[in-house]
Amino acid sequence: MWSSRWLFVLAAAGSAVGLGNIWKFPYITGENGGGAFVLIYLACVALIGVPIMMAEVLIGREGRQSPINTMRLMVQQHRASPAWVLIGWMGVLAGFLILSYYTVVAGWALNYIWQMASGRFVDVSGPEAGAIFDTFLASPWQLLFWHTLFMMATIYIVARGVLKGLEAAIRWFMPLLFVLLFVLVGYAVTTDGFAQGFEFMFAFHWEDVTANTVLIALGQAFFTLSLGMGAIMAYGAYVPSNASIAGTVGIIALLDTLVAIGAGLAIFPIVFANGLEPGQGPGLMFVTIPLAFGQMPLGVLFGTVFFVLVSFAAITSAISLSEPALAYLVEEYNAKRARVAVSFGVLSWFLGIGSVLSFNAWADLHFLGERTFFDTVDHISQNVMLPLGGMLIALFAGWVLPRTVVGAQLGLQRAWTNVLWKILCGVLAPLGVLAVFAGSLLG
């Protein structure tokens, strides 16, 4: 068990804060037109994400096992249909899929530690920064090398049974990450793109909203909070019984949102000040941030530290992607943690090669419409599996678990708090997901 509630906050925040905040949030905000997307994303985090995160923690703490076995136990105890255990299995698969490309992008961050330290970005122009990134992406061997290195680091840490060892890392890197984001936002304020960047992120225009924007915002809310695949449920199994779930989840969601908004506020002013394209896609952070550090005094130092921190943030997230699967395999087959970690990691690494190639050799290979291999795996996991998993988790916690169990876990003592929970988790969260699915299917 975590020695205290704070350890859980650190681990869950370590899972939540990652590439989703610093890399993905700005780039999909850019692709989806800015302000309207940000507002819908924030609403999804608060109204759907927070209740579902509470549901994951409470189910995890009630079962105190891997998500699959926790769901088996819950189904037995409360005489529910065994079909609910699918939540656990789908989560294992979603974690596997996400990990496969997550380590590819995390590999880019690793490479950038090196590139920043070598001073390659000092005083470069926007197009030059873009060209450095494009050259890097065009080389499958380079991408494969960094993908492999990052996957090896992840496997090494999870094989050793990690969670505790990471505590120190998280305790140090999180505050530092905040400081560096602050430096970057401070820099962004001084550029002449700030007003435009701010406006881009926060000006709401209805005409920008389509059913698909809402689906992407919802998927992003799930992704950034690590929801819908049992990662938080797996960590929830170690939360001490006396910790307040609502308070803890609130802190995690707040920290996570602050990092995402901070990253956006740092990146968009730089985009506009340098005449770059906000909708340029996955390269956004890898072009703008080095550009900013390249223009700053002490930029080589700060920039290197920044990418070290991003890599740390990514590894604490990558670990949580594998946790539901590894916890289950260890529990069920009494397998050695190291052995299952290597098997899971190698398989996911192998699938990741498809994502590596989708930026170069397979760039013209399309699936599900216009999507590259990378976009396809990303879309299916983030925009389909996570919301679906989250919806099922909310329905389970809202309707299948008895009120007494939920009330005791959440410390709901009054009738109205019980009703509020039922409405949020049992009705609004699942309906929200359903509405978004329906909307995007209908186009």
Residues that bind ligand TRP (CB under 6 A): 15-16, 18-21, 98, 223-224, 226, 229, 231, 317, 320-321, 386
The Cα–Cα gap between 408 and 413 comes to: 8
When the beta carbons of 19 and 412 are compared against ligand TRP, the nearer one is 19
CB 317 within 8 A of CB 226: yes
When the beta carbons of 34 and 387 are compared against ligand TRP, the nearer one is 387
Could you write out the DSSP letters of every residue in 325-379?
HHHHHHHHH---HHHHHHHHHHHHHHHHHHHHHHTTTTTT--BTTTB-HHHHHHI
The Cα–Cα gap between 379 and 386 comes to: 10
CB of 273 to ligand TRP, least distance (A): 27
Residue 252 structure tokens: 């995690």
Longest dimension (CA), the chain: 65
CB of 386 to ligand TRP, least distance (A): 6
Angle at 51 between CA 265 and CA 211, to 5 degrees: 60
CB of 381 to ligand TRP, least distance (A): 8
When the beta carbons of 132 and 329 are compared against ligand TRP, the nearer one is 329
CB of 141 to ligand TRP, least distance (A): 26
When the beta carbons of 111 and 317 are compared against ligand TRP, the nearer one is 317
CB 123 within 8 A of CB 294: yes
CB of 389 to ligand TRP, least distance (A): 9
When the beta carbons of 143 and 325 are compared against ligand TRP, the nearer one is 325
When the beta carbons of 21 and 111 are compared against ligand TRP, the nearer one is 21
Which has the closest alpha carbon to 150: 193, 190, 101?
101
CB of 90 to ligand TRP, least distance (A): 12
Coil/strand/helix, residue 363: coil
Residue 344 structure tokens: 């899971």
CB of 168 to ligand TRP, least distance (A): 20
Angle at 284 between CA 195 and CA 166, to 5 degrees: 105
When the beta carbons of 21 and 288 are compared against ligand TRP, the nearer one is 21
Please give the radius of gyration of the chain, using alpha carbons only, rounded to the nearest integer: 21
Residue 369 structure tokens: 């419409």
Which residue minimizes CB distance to ligand TRP? 20
